[in-house]
Amino acid sequence: MSNTLLVSTRKGLFVLERAHGGWDVARTAFLGDNVALASIDPRDGNWYAVLDLGHFGNKLQRSSDQGRTWTECAVPAYAEGDQVITGDGKPPVPATLRLIWSLEAGGVDQPGRLWAGTIPGGLFRSDDHAASWQLVRSLWDKEERKQWFGGGFDQPGIHSICVEPGDARMIRIAISTAGVWGSDDDGATWQQCAQGMRAAYMPPERAHDPNVQDVHRLVQCRDQPNIFWAQHHNGVFLCTGPDGWREITNVSPSVFGFAVAVHPRDGNAAWFVPAIKDERRIPVDGQVVVARTRDGGKTFDVLRNGLPQKNAYDLVLRHALAIDASGDRLAFGSSTGGMWISENQGDRWAMLEARLPPVYAVTFA
């Protein structure tokens, strides 16, 4: 089980470690700065942190000593002439890097390979540990990109990247708002993979258009890589094979939320942290709960042991729920700085004794 957690917050990166049976903040980095995301490269142990400096843009930092020292890397850059063209009526504008919204390591046979998903919608590839980046033009140049649009941000963004553990040429990414795109050839060609999703917010004739699906988060089961879960803007969807996505409507207490985690061995087991709905992004009845299924969405447990059950208005953002490689430990943080960790798949939660800044992302090291 992982004994280290990276918590990315509005005011710094907090490294949590487990000792003497409990979790505590062991050290910090970039205290006071906006850390949007942290990512671990399991191949070489490097840690990466995305800094979203309001004035000075996005920066990427790498640490090879578990966060004690950091070195600045290159960030993805758009070229002169690259334009953001969206399907929601906004005028085209020059593409500039707004946010590195997802960062994942490539395969074990691809040393140095990293994938970065960005707002305004470009996927970038590095083959030198983030010393340089190349825009994946095979996706950027798709005609369908001109129909993408932002969900929560002005411009579309890639927030989820799933690289199949046994075959790193198989890549699935999720975009808010442009459904799920997949490549089976290491990014050379791309196709839309959101067939079966439903967008309740669109005009009826567009509701089943895969390219308008606002996926909030996409995760893939490590040992059953044909199984994907998606927390979508208006529901939860499950994909178990070539038949596409199936809507799961019985998530209790609500189908709305941002985060999802899937068990690394058992694709039928997944966790969600529901909020009321789009227009009311707070927990149902002021109670923080986690919804868990162990049977592929047929039934859900509502887990609340150790979670605040009165006057709680914590929202859990899309990258702020994580499960470790053992599948037993889970952790999530909230936009109001709450942080909870479970050692037993969510049966019981322990609150971190801290008042953190707003939590953007939680990552097991």
Partner 1 sequence: MAKVVLASALSRWLPESAGKPSEDVALVVPGARLDEVLSGVFERFPNLRGYVLDEHGAVRHHVAVFVDGTAIADKRNPTQMLSDRSEVYIMQALSGG
**Which residues form the interface with partner 1 (CB under 8 A)?**
10, 53-57, 59, 72, 75, 77-80, 94, 96-97
Closest to partner 1 by CB, 19 or 79? 79
If the CB atoms of residues 135 and 221 are measured against partner 1, the closer one turns out to be 135
CB closer to partner 1 out of 96 and 192: 96
How far apart are alpha carbons 281 and 228 in whole angstroms? 24
Q: How far is the CB of 78 from partner 1 (least distance, A)?
A: 6
Nearer of residues 75 and 136 to partner 1, judged by Cβ: 75
Least Cβ distance, residue 94 to partner 1 (angstroms)? 6
For residue 92, which phi and psi values (nearest 5 degrees)? -60, 145
Tell the smallest beta-carbon distance from residue 150 to partner 1 (Å). Answer: 17
Least gap, CB of 252 to partner 1 (angstroms): 35
Indicate the residue among 2 and 96 with the shorter CB distance to partner 1: 96
- In angstroms, what is the minimal distance from the CB of 151 to partner 1? 22
Which residues pair with residue 129 across a beta bridge?
none
78 vs 39: CA distance, rounded Å: 22
Give me the amino acid identity at 365. A
The amino acid sitting at 295 is: D
Sequence-separated contacts (24+) of 163-167 with Cβ below 8 Å: 163/104, 163/105, 163/106, 163/107, 163/115, 164/220, 164/225, 165/107, 165/222, 165/223, 165/225, 166/225, 167/107, 167/225
- Least distance from C-beta 77 to partner 1, angstroms? 4
CA 297 to chain centre: 20
| Residue at token pair 């927990």 | 283
Residue-wise DSSP of 169-201: T-EEEEEETTEEEEESSTTSS-EE--TT---TT
Q: How far apart are CA 162 and CA 260, in angstroms?
A: 13
CB closer to partner 1, 59 vs 198: 59
Which of 130, 227 has the CB closer to partner 1? Answer: 130
| Least distance between partner 1 and beta carbon 205 (Å) | 38
In 3-state terms, what secondary structure has residue 137?
Answer: helix
**CA distance to 32, 253, 276, per residue, from 288 (Å):** 27, 10, 11
Separation between Cα atoms, residue 287 and residue 295, nearest integer Å = 24
Instruction: State which residue, 72 or 295, has the beta carbon closest to partner 1.
Output: 72
Residue reference for tokens 């400096």 = 53
In whole angstroms, the minimum distance from the beta carbon of 341 to partner 1 comes to 28
Q: Shortest approach of partner 1 to residue 131 CB, angstroms?
A: 13
Peptide bond into 28 cis (omega under 30): no
**39 has which bridge partners?**
48
CA–CA dist 114, 128 (Å, integer): 8
Residue closer to partner 1 by CB (options 61, 345) is 61
